[in-house]
Structure formats: C-alpha cells, structure tokens
Structure 1
Amino acid sequence: MDEARPGSSPFARVGRREFGYNTRQVDRFLTKARGYYNAEDPDSEAISSNEVRAMAFDPAKGGYEPQAVDAALDRLEDVFAQRERDLLISTKGEDAWLRQIGRTAAVLRRRLHRPAGERFRRPAKEKSSSYAIEDVDRLCDELLQYLEDDVPMSVDVVRRAVFREARGADGYEENQVDVFLDRVVELMAGID
C-alpha cells in the first residue's frame, strides 16, 4: 500500500464548501488497514475484504474526494480478497477454494436464471424508492454471460453500477439487489 508523505494528505480534497469523506475516519481506517497489510502475522487485527467493501464514511465539508477514496478501497479490497483466497488454498487446498467458488456461483446463477422482471422482490411500500427493473436485469444478463460464457467483465462494472430510480412495485427492492451485488463482487474479487 502506498503511504502518504509526512504532512501530506493521501487524497485530494473537495472544496471547502463541498462535501467529501470525513478525513479522520478515512485516515483511521487506512492506518488500520495498512497495519494489517504490513503485519508479519496475517491473523493479527485481521480486516476482511468484506469489511473494506462495506466501509462507509460520514460526509464532511472539505473532506477527501470520494471517487479517489473509493478507488483506493477497491484496490485494497482486491488485495485482501487475494490474500483470503491464498490463505484458503494454503490451509485447505485448491479444491476447497474451487468448491467455495462453485457454491457461491451456483447460488448467484439460480437468481440470474429467473425470468427478467422477476429476479428480485418488489418493495412492500407503495412509495418506496426502488431500482429500475430494466437496468438491474441488463446487468444481470451481463453477469450471466460472465459466469456461464466466460465473457470478460471487470468487477468495477458491478461496483460502479448505477440504476435509475423507480417507485414501489415499479422497481426491485434496493436492499436485496445491493446484497446480491455484494456477493457478486465477493465472487469476482476471489476469482480474479
């Protein structure tokens, strides 16, 4: 991991009146991650790739530029996912890793094989914010090609996916889609 020069910020900041990520929270997390990354004992203060992916920072005026921080977290997640994969292979063998990947891929494929428009549940509340079905289904079709036809796809396509907003039953429930996409990212980061 790159270390910032003493007295310098590791990321560019937004304007003083704009909102970015809270610098103290980002610095604290990256210091902890750097400590784990550089640790002799990989079990000490372990940080998982899932924790990196789930990390969120409070907005703060004049904070760090979000896109730069997000890109750094993506790279960090990939490094930790690779470490987790290597640890699994070294302790339990490559077959154990392949079984784990196979089980995860099978669960994801089952949902992806559902008919378009029926892959995820609809929000229970009429006015709830939801994701546009067509947008989510389009990404699901691409994921199915990645998983079954070896069509190349970057994990960043999934990480950066943005869906148009829908209302209520006109869209898919956001939380369910987000959790599914987290599993897809986990799988892709573990494979690549």
Structure 2
Amino acid sequence: MAVDFQRQIPASFERVQRSEYGYNAKQVDQFLQRARVSLETPNAAVHAIGSADVRSVSFDPVKGGYSASVVDAALDRLEDAFARRERDELIASSGEEAWLRDIGQLSGILRGRLHRPDGERFRRPSKKKIRSYNTVDVDNLCRDLIGYLEEDKPLSVDNVRRAVFRPAVGHDGYEENQVDAFLDRVVELMAAID
C-alpha cells in the first residue's frame, strides 16, 4: 500500500509569533524526514519509525517555533497512516485471524481496567504533592471508552488523543504516568480498528 506523505504532512508548518513558544522546527523537520523514509521506502530506513514512535515523539519548546496544534494534527494523521500500514502488513503476513487475535488481546487487557469501579481504575500518586489527574474526568472518559468498545457508541481516536483532565494533587487524583500509558494503548487499539 503506497502512502502519499504529502497528503499526510504539509511541506512546512506555520510558526507562532517570535515571542511565543512553539515546537523546535529543526527537530520537527528531522523527525518528519525520518518518518517520510519509513513510510515511503521502509526498506531504506536506517532507523525505522512506526505508529508508536509518532505517538510518543516530543519536541523542545522554542520561541517562534512551529505551531504545536498544527504539528500535532499532522502527527495524528501520520500516526493513523502508520497504524493502517502496520495492520495491513500483519494481515498480509499472518492473516486476518492473527490481527483479530492481537486486537482481541489488547482489547481484553484494556477492558479489564475500564471495568474497575470509579475512583479505582488507576494508582494514586505515592507522594502528597505530586500532580495527578482528576479522577472524575478520567472515569468519565473510561465510561465513554466502554461505550465505544462494547456498545458501538461513536468515539473518535482524536477525542482520546486530545483528552484534557483537570489537575489534582496527590491522592486526590490518578497518577498521570499510568493514565497516559493506558491512553497510549487505547489510541493504539482505536487506530488499528478504525
């Protein structure tokens, strides 16, 4: 399956004003060049990139850099393109049954956590003043995810990618790292399904 990189990523991004912070343009451009090679000619890629790499990439903030929201939107499209290719490659090499089995295993793992009671889905921070996510906000998204996975209720992968939770402090919230890692797996599953 050939992927048109230009349809996924524009040649350049708009920049924020010189006094505002945006993404380091050089870092963005270098990453996207590596992504282009990995997507268009994967056998020529020295350091292959996949959907998980796109999902986890981060760039230093610099004054006058690329607009974060514009770059993030392009990265979302790029992640989806990699996820589709990875799904197609798995189906081509191992068959649709293998893909369905992988999706089912990941879905089962995620559902196990989603079906925990409200307020008990994730760890609480071990220290009192550590920042955490508001449990009600996270639990609301988890209920939406149950509806998506089990009741065919509509939910966009972008809703999960862009989820914002009110901050909490210490034991009043869920540990940010654990919630973020879980949501990364949810995005992985949704990108593979959609």
Cα separation, partners in 2 of 1:190 and 1:43, compared to 1, 3 Å: farther
Asked if residue 173 in structure 1 is aligned to residue 175 in structure 2, the reply is yes
Q: For each residue in 1:57-92, what CA deviation from the matched residue of structure 2 results, as whole angstroms up to 9, or x when unmatched?
A: 000110000000000000000000000000000000
Residue in 2 that maps onto 1:96: 98
Q: For each residue in 1:75-114, what CA deviation from the matched residue of structure 2 results, as whole angstroms up to 9, or x when unmatched?
A: 0000000000000000000000000000000000010000
Note the C-alpha offset of 1:45: 4.0
The letter of the residue matching 1:165 is P
Asked if residue 110 in structure 1 is aligned to residue 124 in structure 2, the reply is no
Residue in 2 that maps onto 1:129: 131
The letter of the residue matching 1:77 is E
Q: How does 1:1-192 map to 2 (within 5 A)?
A: 1-2=5-6, 10-39=12-41, 41=43, 45-192=47-194
**Equivalents in 1 of 2:131, 2:29: separation in Å?**
33
TM-score normalised to structure 1 length: 0.94
Note the C-alpha offset of 1:46: 2.3
Give ranges in structure 1 of 5+ residues lacking alignment: none
The letter of the residue matching 1:30 is L
Note the C-alpha offset of 1:38: 1.6
- Give the superposed CA RMSD: 1.4
**Equivalents in 2 of 1:11, 1:179: separation in Å?**
28
Note the C-alpha offset of 1:37: 1.7
**Equivalents in 2 of 1:38, 1:171: separation in Å?**
43
**Equivalents in 1 of 2:139, 2:48: separation in Å?**
36
Note the C-alpha offset of 1:35: 1.4
User: Percent same amino acid among aligned pairs?
Assistant: 61
Q: Is the 8 A contact 2:34 2:48 kept in 1?
A: no
Q: For each residue in 1:119-154, what CA deviation from the matched residue of structure 2 results, as whole angstroms up to 9, or x when unmatched?
A: 001000001100000000000000000000011110
Note the C-alpha offset of 1:36: 1.6
TM-score normalised to structure 2 length: 0.94
